[in-house]
Amino acid sequence: MMDKTVRGMYCLRCGSKQVVRGSIGESARFYPLRGFLKAMLAKPVFINNEHSHACLDCGLIWNELDTASLRKNIRSFGLSPHSTGVMRVVQGDGLSENPKNDI
């Protein structure tokens, strides 16, 4: 199994190069952290990347989603109260020249 690790990938948590590719599932969804009422009314952001990654050393799993969909979701439904800095970026008050670096 160790010869099937993804070349050039490393774990975002522990830095290990023992990373494998897999799949979380067809209906994988991401729910941004928000207050209870907003969480009940809000919709998820669907994960559109079929290739997930997992670290063999620490167990971290990660995936990708469409950043435009995530921003739209957060603008529509908000975040938890502690996320005010993130909300400024999402609302356009703190965008950098490279939007991929925001949030």
pTM: 0.62
Give the burial string for 17-45 (b: 16+ CB within 10 Å, else e).
ebbeeeebeeebeeebebeeeeeeebeeb
Per-residue confidence (pLDDT) for residue 60, from 0 to 100: 95
Per-residue confidence (pLDDT) for residue 56, from 0 to 100: 97
Per-residue confidence (pLDDT) for residue 40, from 0 to 100: 75
Number of domain units in the chain: 1
Going residue by residue through the chain (103 aa), what tens digit of pLDDT does each one get?
445 788 889 999 999 999 999 888 777 888 887 776 777 778 888 887 677 899 999 999 998 888 899 899 888 887 776 555 655 665 665 545 555 554 4
Per-residue confidence (pLDDT) for residue 53, from 0 to 100: 93
DSSP H helices, the chain, are 36-41, 67-77, 84-90
CA neighbor of 89 nearest in space, from 31, 79, 33 = 79
Domain housing 48: 2-101
Per-residue confidence (pLDDT) for residue 92, from 0 to 100: 62
> How many C-beta atoms lie closer than 10 Å to residue 55's C-beta?
22
